[in-house]
Chains A and B, each alone.
Chain A
Amino acid sequence: MSCDLAKLSRSRVRLPAMARVVVDVMPKPEILDPQGKAVTGALARLGFAGMSVRQGKRFEIELEGELTDERLDEVRRAAETLLANTVIETFNVRVEAPPESSEKEGASESGDQDDEDEPTEQAELATQAG
């Protein structure tokens, strides 16, 4: 699917600017995380020792239009209003590189790998809130 998008964006048709913004939501450290505990227990039973898990949620937002500070603020407001319950959760908003730029790197399964030489791959515009 990302290949199709990449092809489209290279064609002559001008696509509206799109950015992918990721909102990560995690239970606050002081809040019990029964799901994480269940996963932790299952991992231990499977022989994955010393792994303590806390489980959160990841929201991928395809943002239409130009990525401005105002638009990012809007995403933060959306996160605070609906995506996270700040009584029990924290959230983090960050911008991900658009789909076409990840094509050269092949499959994007290593999304969490830090690559010091390629700082543009994952825009470091992360903000903390909650």
Chain B
Amino acid sequence: MGPKIGPKIGVVTFPGSLDDQDALRAIRLCGGEPVPLWHGNETLDGVEAVILPGGFSYGDYLRCGAISRFAPVMAEVIKAAEAGMPVLGICNGFQILCEAHLLPGALIRNDVRVFVCKDQDLRVESVDTTWTSDFTRGQIINVVLKNGEGGYVANEETLQRLEDEGRVIFRYVNGNPNGSFHDIAGICNERGNVVGLMPHPEHNVDSLTGPTQDGRAFFNSVFNFLTAKV
């Protein structure tokens, strides 16, 4: 048997993306085939899942993610997401998913009014998504958090629906770093194929550069999902 070829996972680079290279590297380290995607292209190059990485796409002009949300590649991402393709938005990617209405609510400036950069404890609240099936429910993980606008807000009705449907998938524990409602760090769509979170799992895949390797489970989850589907 030859070497196993992992699933093709695309990472979109927008002007101002910062963590696209780390996301590509994480996919490779975890056994997938990383595929760089360009924001200006109208194709997903045959990938099986897409990651929208962290950074400051379009300089955060207007609102974080507001302009990237209309990049040509996003039309394809939205179409694929609605058809069930796994999509993960990390930090700025989460903001883009909210602006694109693939996820409800919005991210606003941290209530502490400073940029927060720390190793953040999170509780895994749901494993029923394509990106979190490799975790166990209630597990405490530690993942890098670094943002200025990570305060998750939504109206009461939306928050209730997210809670009732088990769509809050990560919650901040040991302190809410940014004023997010219900301590929300990450959520998913109804189908569980689109996930957005503020912390950065792609930075927690290697003992050399991260205090934990808790980010690996994100990639393993989607690999398992995609492999099982075939």
Residues of A within 8 A of B (CB): 27, 31-32, 34-35, 37-38, 82-83, 85, 87-88
B163 at the interface (CB under 8 A from A): no
Chain A residues positioned under 8 Å from B104 (CB to CB): 87
- A85 and B106 form a contact (CB under 8 A): yes
Q: What would 4 more interface pairs be, CB under 8 Å, given A31-B108, A85-B63, A87-B154?
A: A34-B111, A85-B66, A85-B99, A87-B155
Please report the C-alpha to C-alpha distance between residue A31 and residue B67 in the assembled complex, in whole angstroms: 22
Nearest-neighbor residue (CB-CB) of A38 within chain B: B113
Nearest-neighbor residue (CB-CB) of A41 within chain B: B113
Chain B residues positioned under 8 Å from A27 (CB to CB): 108
Chain A residues positioned under 8 Å from B62 (CB to CB): 82-83
Please report the C-alpha to C-alpha distance between residue A38 and residue B111 in the assembled complex, in whole angstroms: 10
Please report the C-alpha to C-alpha distance between residue A125 and residue B105 in the assembled complex, in whole angstroms: 31
User: Top 9 nearest A-B pairs by Cβ distance?
Assistant: A34-B109, A87-B106, A88-B106, A34-B113, A38-B113, A85-B63, A85-B106, A32-B111, A31-B153
Chain B residues positioned under 8 Å from A82 (CB to CB): 62, 66-67, 70
Please report the C-alpha to C-alpha distance between residue A85 and residue B100 in the assembled complex, in whole angstroms: 10
- A32 and B151 form a contact (CB under 8 A): yes
Q: Closest approach, in angstroms, between the C-beta of B89 and any C-beta of chain A?
A: 16
Q: Using a CB-CB cutoff of 8 Å, which residues 80-130 of chain B contact chain A?
A: 98-99, 104-106, 108-111, 113
Q: Could you jot down 13 A-B contacts, CB within 8 Å?
A: A27-B108, A31-B108, A31-B153, A32-B151, A34-B108, A34-B111, A35-B109, A37-B113, A38-B113, A85-B66, A85-B99, A87-B106, A87-B155
Nearest-neighbor residue (CB-CB) of B181 within chain A: A32
Nearest-neighbor residue (CB-CB) of B148 within chain A: A34
Nearest-neighbor residue (CB-CB) of A59 within chain B: B62
Please report the C-alpha to C-alpha distance between residue A18 and residue B5 in the assembled complex, in whole angstroms: 60
Please report the C-alpha to C-alpha distance between residue A87 and residue B70 in the assembled complex, in whole angstroms: 17
- A87 and B105 form a contact (CB under 8 A): yes
Please report the C-alpha to C-alpha distance between residue A35 and residue B149 in the assembled complex, in whole angstroms: 11
Please report the C-alpha to C-alpha distance between residue A82 and residue B68 in the assembled complex, in whole angstroms: 11
Please report the C-alpha to C-alpha distance between residue A35 and residue B99 in the assembled complex, in whole angstroms: 20
